[in-house]
């Protein structure tokens, strides 16, 4: 007899999690609580209620977390200009700590004994969900069906549904791409993408037009920053999730935000995936632009040096860790004077910075000018500076050392 009486499941209402509801009921003879989060995936989440009810679920949580997602997770990550392995803007990774946190909170509210998720045993999400859960509730029991059952194909899942009268939408032909979406991005994996030589099919993309099909006239936008976060677009104040929604639309319409990469998963394998991150692509470029005039040189370089580590921490699932909090404290401290406005030109897949201004700018025209600087900068000072910095090189060369 299982000691698991109640489980909180991260529930999408799709095939996998619908099967998991019944599988948990059958395997553990337990009550299932479902949790469905709206983090901007672009699909209605309310239909999940009827699907859960049809499976006998009594406690159903459906929550709009878009504002919290962008404000407390996406924005803090972009203050660091975070990119994993030079390309990936961590769209899937950054959503997992929020979901893990709510799973644990709901488990505490409902008196559940365990949590469960539908992540497969091959990917990173199982790690992210569970690391977060254990950090927030050390003794929690985690049930990962994909590591226990033998339903390892769509055909077996569908057969399970038929046997147990589980209502799911049946699609003929090939399975769709494995996709994950939220306000920051949408990802695509599987089918022809499993061959890293095969080009992604054009009709796969959902959020953006092909750059060659984007308008022939550029689009200009202005982003206003306060302490490293975007607070207005073209002078109109917006909430964090409204900022990202707007940027996704304007960037997608201009063919911005597509990438096709092979990344190194934390579990050890290489994986090929395609990602659309329209708004995030703009945010990264614009944030670096406003920092270029407001951050001290050494602070900016320090941020750049720790960014790969910070990205790795998020990618691997350690958002709820002391090292991430320590890095975040440093990053957030640097953003005090990252205020001002950036003007961008969007054109056929490109994001060009064409202007930046700030009352906190460290750019001094009197010093930087190529014209008469009225004595603001004395070129003669450079002679001693250069000789001192060359001293070690001159000594080594005088000893006959070769570079």
What is the per-residue pLDDT across 351-373, written as a single tens digit (0 to 9) for each? Answer: 999 999 999 999 988 888 788 87
258 among annotated binding-site residues? no
pLDDT score of 169 more than 80: no
pLDDT score of 234 more than 60: yes
Contacts of 162 (CB under 8 A, 6+ apart): none
User: For all residues of the chain together, what is the average pLDDT?
Assistant: 94
398 among annotated binding-site residues? no
Share of the chain above pLDDT 70, in %: 98
Contact call for residues 240 and 74 (beta carbons, < 8 A): yes
pLDDT for residue 178: 86
3-state helix, strand, coil in the chain (%, to 5): 45, 20, 35
Report d(CA 389, CA 281) in Å as an integer: 38
> Quick one: how far is CA 390 from the chain centroid?
44
Structure tokens that stand for 33 in this block: 């609580």
263 among annotated binding-site residues? yes
- The stretch 253-273 carries a mean pLDDT of 96
> Quick one: how far is CA 258 from the chain centroid?
14
Structure tokens that stand for 397 in this block: 């060369």
Catalytic residue, candidates 16, 113, 180, 229: 16
If one counts every other C-beta atom within 10 angstroms of the C-beta of residue 365, the result is: 10
Question: Which of these, 304, 343, 323, 337, lies nearest to 83 by C-alpha position?
Answer: 304
What strands lie across the sheet with 6-10, from one edge to the other? 59-64, 31-38, 6-10, 114-116, 141-143
10 among annotated binding-site residues? yes
Catalytic residue at 164? no
339 among annotated binding-site residues? no
18 among annotated binding-site residues? yes
Residue 147: pLDDT band with limits 50, 70, 90: very high
Catalytic residue, candidates 49, 154, 178, 343: 178
pLDDT for residue 1: 47
Q: CA angle, corner 328, sides to 312 and 116, nearest 5?
A: 60
Question: Which of these, 223, 20, 186, lies nearest to 115 by C-alpha position?
Answer: 20
Q: Is 335 helix (H, G, I), strand (E, B) or coil?
A: coil
User: How far, in Å, are 15, 116, 164 from residue 159 at the CA level?
Assistant: 11, 22, 9
pLDDT for residue 170: 58
Report d(CA 129, CA 101) in Å as an integer: 9
The label of the residue with tokens 């040096």 reads 305
Report d(CA 239, CA 226) in Å as an integer: 13
- Residues 32-84 pLDDT 10s: 999 999 999 988 899 899 999 999 999 999 999 999 999 999 999 999 999 99
> Quick one: how far is CA 363 from the chain centroid?
32
Share of the chain above pLDDT 90, in %: 85
Q: Which domains does the chain have, with CATH numbers?
A: 6-65+91-164 (3.40.50.620), 178-357 (3.90.1260.10), 365-398 (no CATH)
> Quick one: how far is CA 171 from the chain centroid?
29
Contact call for residues 232 and 240 (beta carbons, < 8 A): no
- Cα end-to-end span (Å), the chain: 72
- Across-strand partners of 121? none
Question: Which of these, 220, 212, 250, 217, lies nearest to 349 by C-alpha position?
Answer: 212
Burial state string for 157-183 with b = 16 or more CB within 10 A and e = fewer than 16: bbebbeeeebebeeeeeeeebeebbbb
**Least confident range of 108-112, 239-243, 371-375, 380-384:** 371-375
pLDDT for residue 175: 40
pLDDT for residue 173: 45
Catalytic residue at 154? no
- Residues 37-51 pLDDT 10s: 999 998 889 989 999
Catalytic residue at 96? yes
91 among annotated binding-site residues? no
What strands lie across the sheet with 270-276, from one edge to the other? 178-181, 186-189, 270-276, 258-264
> Quick one: how far is CA 371 from the chain centroid?
45
pLDDT for residue 167: 81
Catalytic residue at 398? no
Contact call for residues 205 and 349 (beta carbons, < 8 A): no
| Residue 155 vs residue 100, higher pLDDT | 100
Question: Which of these, 8, 222, 267, 230, lies nearest to 126 by C-alpha position?
Answer: 267
Structure tokens that stand for 99 in this block: 């979901």
Structure tokens that stand for 18 in this block: 């619908």
Catalytic residue, candidates 125, 208, 229, 285: 125
Report d(CA 384, CA 389) in Å as an integer: 9
pLDDT for residue 307: 98
- Residues 2-19 pLDDT 10s: 799 999 999 998 889 999
Helical (H) or strand (E) element with 305? helix 297-315
Residue 174: pLDDT band with limits 50, 70, 90: very low
């Amino acid at each position: 007899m299982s000691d698991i009486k109640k489980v909180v499941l991260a529930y999408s209402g799709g095939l996998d999690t619908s099967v998991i509801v019944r599988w948990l009921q059958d395997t553990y003879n337990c009550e299932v609580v479902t949790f469905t989060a709206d983090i901007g995936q672009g699909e209605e989440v309310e239909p999940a209620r009827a699907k859960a009810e049809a499976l006998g679920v009594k406690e159903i949580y459906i929550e709009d977390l878009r504002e919290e997602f962008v404000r407390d997770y996406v924005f803090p990550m972009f203050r660091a200009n975070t990119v994993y392995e030079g390309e990936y803007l961590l769209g899937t990774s950054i959503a997992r700590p929020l979901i893990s946190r709510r799973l644990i909170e709901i488990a505490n509210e409902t008196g559940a004994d365990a949590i469960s998720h539908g992540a497969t045993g091959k990917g990173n999400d199982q790690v992210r969900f569970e690391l977060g859960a254990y950090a927030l509730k050390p003794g929690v029991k985690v049930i990962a069906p994909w590591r226990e059952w033998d339903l390892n194909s769509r055909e077996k899942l569908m057969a399970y549904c038929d046997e147990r009268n589980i209502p799911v939408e049946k699609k003929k032909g090939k399975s769709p791409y494995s996709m994950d979406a939220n306000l920051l991005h949408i990802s695509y994996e599987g089918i022809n993408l499993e061959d890293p030589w095969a080009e992604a099919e054009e009709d796969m993309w959902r959020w953006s037009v092909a750059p060659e099909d984007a308008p022939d006239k550029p689009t200009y936008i202005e982003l206003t920053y306060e302490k490293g976060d975007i607070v207005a677009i073209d002078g109109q104040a917006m909430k964090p999730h409204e900022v990202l929604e707007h940027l996704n639309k304007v960037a997608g319409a201009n063919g911005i935000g597509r990438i096709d990469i092979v990344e190194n998963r934390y579990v050890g394998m290489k994986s090929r995936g395609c990602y659309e991150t329209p708004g995030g692509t703009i945010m990264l470029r614009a944030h670096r632009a406003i920092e270029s005039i407001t951050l001290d040189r050494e602070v900016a370089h320090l941020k750049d040096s720790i960014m790969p580590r910070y990205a790795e921490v998020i990618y691997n699932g350690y958002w709820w860790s002391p090292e991430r909090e320590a890095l975040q404290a440093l990053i957030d401290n640097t953003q005090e004077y990252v205020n001002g406005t950036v003007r961008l030109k969007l054109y056929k897949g490109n994001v060009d910075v064409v202007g930046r201004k700030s009352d906190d700018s460290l750019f001094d025209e009197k010093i930087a000018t190529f014209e008469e600087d009225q004595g603001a900068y004395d070129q003669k000072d450079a002679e001693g500076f250069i000789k001192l910095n060359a001293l070690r090189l001159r000594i080594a060369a005088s000893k006959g050392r070769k570079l």
